[in-house]
Structure 1
């Protein structure tokens, strides 16, 4: 009888307790082999090059490199593993950003453990892993797009940056407040200006104040 296929998994999350819980869940199914854990995006990129995982379970909101930045870095470095986002966020902007960036799945941390494990297994074998709420959103994405606010396309981190911009903070101050690099702040500002179809921080601030307030 042939040996059962084992999928090499890398867990990326900045919360130790969450990493332990995910590891313990995966270890209940011998189709998975957890090859490593990373507590940051930078560590994930380095570790992925060494352990060559088949699947990367990636948190979305982490200090330093966000999940989106980490996904871009992984692909830029030629990492071909299936990347499945595992997060608490069901914000449309986050879902859209990760799927458009090439994520192979999007799972919510509040899922039932058995359902979550089955979805990860499905992602490993078939290439798509989505929680039911995410699947429903994707199925109605086009219809939802027409009804969403101007900020629906922004990720949670981009909204954080925009709020600080609207408060009048400089890039350096925003970097300190959000615990990210100044260069990352610049990238987020460039992306949010493009998504909002405005040309300046002032215009983005006006749009923010008119639609959301502080």
Structure 2
């Protein structure tokens, strides 16, 4: 058996559904070569658990009350955490996939992935190799080959898209600041840029334009 195959890979599981966390913990605990060190129910708690446990891989859900996955991935990247993040979610829309990868995720799998594929993906992530589910890889290739039709200078940045997605969900500036680990003043600055780029006068108009241009799925 090779050294890579023999090495035990440590994990932290992040998902807001207890049943999902229990299922993943049980699955990896029963499989040879894996060790689950901890779990968290949202992105904010995940940061503390990852800092304490220092796992090889973080299995990260994206949409979670109390702190989303993309913001947590970005913060882990900013902190220089050695843990690789493998996104495991039910969502494969551009508004979820692209920000997660831009934030620093090593891989992106959907929750319907077969067990063996998930095991292989976790090992690959631990080795620093990128893993994308076929559906996600196809979307990214399409996005790369078909650039957005926005005129130069009007495309939203990854963080501006994150803010707009949260605005579309009815999230307040204070809640957005907490979820993205930024100040309310920074949120307002991002919104000012979003309004200017979309030619919108307020939040509702920005959301409407976002859906019209396909920025919001």
Report the TM-score range of the alignment, normalised by the length of the smaller protein.
0.7 to 0.9
Secondary structure at the aligned position of 1:198 is classed as: helix
Which residue, out of 30, 33, 52, partners 2:32? 30
Determine the structure 1 residue equivalent to 2:43.
Answer: 41
Secondary structure at the aligned position of 2:108 is classed as: strand
Which residue, out of 162, 168, 177, partners 2:168? 162
**Structure 1 residues 134-149: aligned runs within 5 Å:** 134-146=136-148
- What is the aligned-residue RMSD (CA, Å)? 3.6
With over 3 angstroms needed to count, the CA separation of the structure-2 counterparts of 1:24 and 1:185, relative to structure 1, is farther
1:91 and 2:93 matched = yes
Which residue, out of 14, 18, 21, partners 1:19? 21
Gaps of 5+ in 2: 213-217
With over 3 angstroms needed to count, the CA separation of the structure-2 counterparts of 1:182 and 1:79, relative to structure 1, is closer
The CA distance in 2 between the partners of 1:95 and 1:12, in whole Å, is 17
Which residue, out of 68, 75, 78, partners 1:76? 78
Secondary structure at the aligned position of 1:140 is classed as: helix
The CA distance in 2 between the partners of 1:185 and 1:109, in whole Å, is 33
Secondary structure at the aligned position of 1:8 is classed as: strand
* Corresponding residue pairs, total: 204
8 Å contact kept, 2:77–2:103: no
